[in-house]
Homo-oligomer: A and B are copies of this chain.
């Protein structure tokens, strides 16, 4: 629903949150997030420009979070790479509308507000805190592989037990 860039940015940040304090080399980041390396490089530039990550070049280099995972919201990550804004005034610039939005733009604004609120109250640390769910980007050790195939009625096909 959001841009692919936002999805990739979230993956990169989740990956770095899994390695607190350590510099993760870019090839490792690309491998674990499954983001094409050139695309990832651009995403990392944007995240660094937004002061969400810091990087070091050369041997032993890589990236790490610039602040603790509990202090970075998903909204900040998404805003570093794409535009997520409330609608404050008529996008058509109609003078008799101004900030008194018509029902269409009020609805679009309502959707933006809902998403902003949801992502704004979730930090990177929250993504790693649920013991009942798989960790982002990480295979579940020893788990049966869950089929990603859906049956024709939309339900998940039964898990294949492959260890």
Which A residues form the contact surface with B (CB < 8 A)? 1-2, 7, 10-11, 14, 33-34, 74, 83-85, 88-108, 110-112, 114-115, 118-119, 122, 126-130, 133-140, 143-148, 150, 154, 156, 159, 162
Contacts and interface: CB of A to CB of B under 8 A. Distances in A.
Which among A11, A107, A145, A154 has the highest number of chain B CB atoms within 10 Å?
A107
A103 to B, nearest CB: 4
Contacts of A143: 96
Give the number of times this chain occurs in the complex, counting copies.
2
A98 B133 contact: no
A115 B1 CA distance: 9
A11 B140 CA distance: 46
Given A95-B139, A111-B115, A103 B1 contact: no
